[in-house]
Amino acid sequence: MKIVILDGYCLNHGDLSWEQFNNLGEVTIYERTPYEKIVERMGDATIMITNKCNIDRDVINRLPQLKYVGVLATGYNNVDIAYAHERGVVVTNIPAYSTESVVQTVFGLITELYSGIGYHNESVKRGDWVNCTDFCYYRTGMHELCGKTIGIVGAGRIGLRVKEVAKAYGLEVLMFSKSRHAKEEGFRYVNTLTELYENSDIVSLNCPLTDGNAKMINEEALSHFKRSAIIINTARGGLVDDEALAKALNEDRILGAGLDVLSTEPPREDNPLLKAKNVVITPHVAWATIEARSRLMDVAYNNLKAFLSGKPINCV
């Protein structure tokens, strides 16, 4: 059984081990594979493991021996699922491995925008405190979380966990979801996104990207935000119209943004958000703690092991 890992570097920078996969077959690992090399590197292997390689109809057609694609992520939009099914190729993903890590990043971005810890750290290291007349200084407005309202878009595992942590901070919670509208204590679902935007101090995007919600944060949506609001996106960059958000930030129509994802990754040099006011951007790392990546590795192994035993799990 030949197993080819096409782009292992994103998951494993050398601090994890692929060794357990050797129990399942002959393993070849590539750190990165450009699209034009996929077929060549797969050869006659029946098992493909990939994170972000584009496995489209053409690739699948050129790999008649392919039986299994293990996606090293929750999202699987890089694989032509319908055609894979048509060809009898099993595709699996990794659900729910990074919930705690993503939620941690949500509140890391919120607290940076509200408290300016990183901002003030850099200021101190530039010598501003050494040269300060007073015992302290504050160069950016700071705010308490307690008593503010967070609007959470999406009521999946991550959205619901954000809700729980928000309550611990003393935040009031609003949630919007097309699939869940149960009445539960301590927070409430709103009927429209407009209602959520108009009543939230913090808007956190924790929903999948679909054809129906692409660029949901656009000029019209931002017109309903409070001027004092911040937006957090740890979900998918395609949920946000980059130009509209940058314009709102630069015109002080919202207070700030914390983004772990952008519409194109890596971003183009001319992405307006890279130079916008009051924005904190991290390079799509909310999922990437050692604990989350270890869980991902273990689930990927168990997915393949289950497939080889004839009882596939986490199929998409």
243 and 294 inside one domain: no
Quote the number of domains for the chain. Answer: 2
Would residue 314 count as lying in a domain? no
Would residue 223 count as lying in a domain? yes
Q: How far apart are CA 178 and CA 37, in angstroms?
A: 41
Average pLDDT, the chain: 95
pLDDT of the residue at 182: 58
pLDDT of the residue at 187: 81
From 120, 161, 236, 295, active-site residue: 236
262 and 167 inside one domain: yes
167 and 260 inside one domain: yes
Would residue 316 count as lying in a domain? no
From 265, 268, 291, 293, active-site residue: 265
Give 114's pLDDT tier (boundaries 50, 70, 90).
very high
Its pTM stands at: 0.92
Residue 185 predicted with pLDDT over 90: no
Residue 307 predicted with pLDDT over 90: yes
Would residue 315 count as lying in a domain? no
153 and 228 inside one domain: yes
Q: Give me the mean pLDDT over the 129-151 stretch.
A: 93
165 and 239 inside one domain: yes
14 and 137 inside one domain: no
Q: Give me the mean pLDDT over the 109-138 stretch.
A: 95
- The domain that holds 266 is classified in CATH as 3.40.50.720
299 or 75, higher pLDDT: 299
Give 270's pLDDT tier (boundaries 50, 70, 90).
very high
Residue 139 predicted with pLDDT over 90: no
Would residue 90 count as lying in a domain? yes
| Residue 36 domain boundaries | 2-97+290-308
284 is catalytic: yes
Give 178's pLDDT tier (boundaries 50, 70, 90).
confident
76 and 117 inside one domain: no
pLDDT of the residue at 124: 96
165 and 42 inside one domain: no
265 is catalytic: yes
Q: Give me the mean pLDDT over the 149-170 stretch.
A: 95
158 and 304 inside one domain: no
Residue 289 predicted with pLDDT over 80: yes
pLDDT of the residue at 141: 81
Give 246's pLDDT tier (boundaries 50, 70, 90).
very high
pLDDT of the residue at 198: 98
Which string of DSSP letters, residue by residue, matches the chain? -EEEES--TTT-SSSS--GGGGGTSEEEE-S---GGGHHHHHTT-SEEEESS--B-HHHHHT-TT--EEEESSS--TTB-HHHHHHTT-EEE--TTSSHHHHHHHHHHHHHHHHH-HHHHHHHHHTTTTTT-SSS----S-----TT-EEEEE--SHHHHHHHHHHHHTT-EEEEE-SS-----TT-EE-S-HHHHHHH-SEEEE-S---TTTTT-BSHHHHTTS-TT-EEEE-S-GGGB-HHHHHHHHHTTSSSEEEES--SSSSPPTT-GGGG-TTEEE--S-TT--HHHHHHHHHHHHHHHHHHHTT---SB-
From 87, 157, 180, 284, active-site residue: 284
236 is catalytic: yes
Would residue 180 count as lying in a domain? yes
124 and 269 inside one domain: yes
Give 23's pLDDT tier (boundaries 50, 70, 90).
very high
Residue 180 predicted with pLDDT over 80: no
179 and 240 inside one domain: yes
Residue 218 predicted with pLDDT over 80: yes
33 and 130 inside one domain: no
